[in-house]
Amino acid sequence: MAKTQALPATKPARRSRFALPWYAWSLLAVAAAYGLAFAMHWDDRGLLWLSEHFQSPAQRQESIWLPNYRAVIDAKPLPGMEKDEASDVTYNPQTKTLFAVMGKKPFLAELTLQGDVLRKMPLVGWSNPEGVAYMENGLLAITDERSHTLTIVHVDADTRELNNADFPHYDLGPSKNQNKGFEGIAWDPRNQQLILGEERPPALFTWKSDGSQQLKGDKQIHVSNELDLRNLSALAIDPRTGHTLVLSADSHLLLELDEKGEQVSFMTLLGGFNGLKDTIPRAEGVTIDEAGNLYVVSEPNLFYRFEKQR
């Protein structure tokens, strides 16, 4: 009788160290999605998006109303500024031009409303200029994030260079995060004050002025506590409504606040939205003219113009 051979014992399959039950993977996916939504403030954006849909036509007409804006100049390179890092931009209603500060190699550039460079003015004595705001009568306020100072300069058609020592400057004081100081600045003509924005954690302050090179008193905490943003990159004041624009590079977002500091509308800066082909890589500056046209500059040297669709 033939002897039956025993079959070799099969080795149990080795369990992967990454093998988890399906419900565990589901929980991890939900947690990751929640973490991303929390970091990007999508929950707050969702609530604001819902509230926007309950705004009446009259309320929308009285605001900037960012959802209606579309890019008409999309990521136009500023020639010769690839390594200069555009930090902010402001509109001058007297000259109908823009002024942008470059932070890496400090200089002030005058631009047309189409993003063409008219002239460059070296900023001698600045360490890291991050914010610029046109005030009145040729005056520009420039913040230096590294030295925590604000300097008010005068620029006219003959200006070719600016020296920090020639102009009054003010100490902005310490920031909660000394490496993330005052990036945003805007002039509020209705209330005769500068609005200052701290990058991280985002915070707003005001500093009174009569539009001259002299500031009054000291900076004060702004009324707004609605800055649910990852960082604050730049500020602008709409001359028509008095509303404030708050730009966040890390959140890829432009936010509109009313005069009480409450959120009114927003615009995402991601590719595929508001006429943008691609996401704005790092939006660092924003301004608005008297016609309501928006201008954004992004590091290293990209220029954007948005117009409202009626």
Q: Which of 89, 91, 95 is nearest to 157 (CA)?
A: 95
Mean pLDDT of 90-117: 96
Contact 188, 181 (CB under 8 A): no
CA 23 – CA 28 distance, rounded (Å): 9
Please give the residue that has the higher pLDDT: either 8 or 106: 106
Which range (94-98, 223-227, 228-232, 274-278) has the least confidence? 223-227
CA 172 to chain centre: 20
Read off the pLDDT band of 42 (50, 70, 90).
Answer: low
CA 301 – CA 103 distance, rounded (Å): 11
> What element of type H or E holds 280?
none
Please give the residue that has the higher pLDDT: either 223 or 285: 285
Read off the pLDDT band of 13 (50, 70, 90).
Answer: low
Residue 30 has what pLDDT? 56
Q: Which of 185, 218, 183, 186 is nearest to 200 (CA)?
A: 183
Read off the pLDDT band of 196 (50, 70, 90).
Answer: very high
Q: Which residues contact 265 (CB under 8 A, 6 or more apart)?
A: 48, 52, 63, 64, 65, 66, 67, 255, 256
Highest mean predicted confidence (pLDDT) among 45-49, 146-150, 151-155? 151-155
Read off the pLDDT band of 38 (50, 70, 90).
Answer: low
CA 262 – CA 246 distance, rounded (Å): 12
CA 161 to chain centre: 27
Beta strand extents in 192-282 (DSSP E only) = 193-198, 203-209, 215-221, 234-237, 244-248, 253-257, 263-268
Which range (43-47, 123-127, 150-154, 196-200) has the least confidence? 43-47
Taking residue 158's Cβ as centre, other Cβ atoms within 10 Å add up to: 5
Mean pLDDT of 182-208: 95
Mean pLDDT rounded to a whole number for the chain: 87
Residue 126 has what pLDDT? 96
Measured distance between the N- and C-terminal CA atoms of the chain, rounded to whole angstroms? 97
Read off the pLDDT band of 83 (50, 70, 90).
Answer: confident
pTM metric for this prediction:
0.84
Mean pLDDT of 88-102: 97
Q: Which of 129, 122, 123, 143 is nearest to 187 (CA)?
A: 143
Strand order in the sheet with 253-257: 234-237, 244-248, 253-257, 263-268
Taking residue 104's Cβ as centre, other Cβ atoms within 10 Å add up to: 15
Q: Which of 116, 83, 82 is nearest to 97 (CA)?
A: 116
Mean pLDDT of 270-283: 97
Mean pLDDT of 186-208: 95
Q: Is the pLDDT of residue 178 over 60?
A: no
List the structure tokens of 107: 């200089």
pLDDT digits (tens, 9 = 90+) for 216-236: 999 999 887 667 889 999 999
DSSP secondary structure, 192-206, as one string: TEEEEEETTTTEEEE
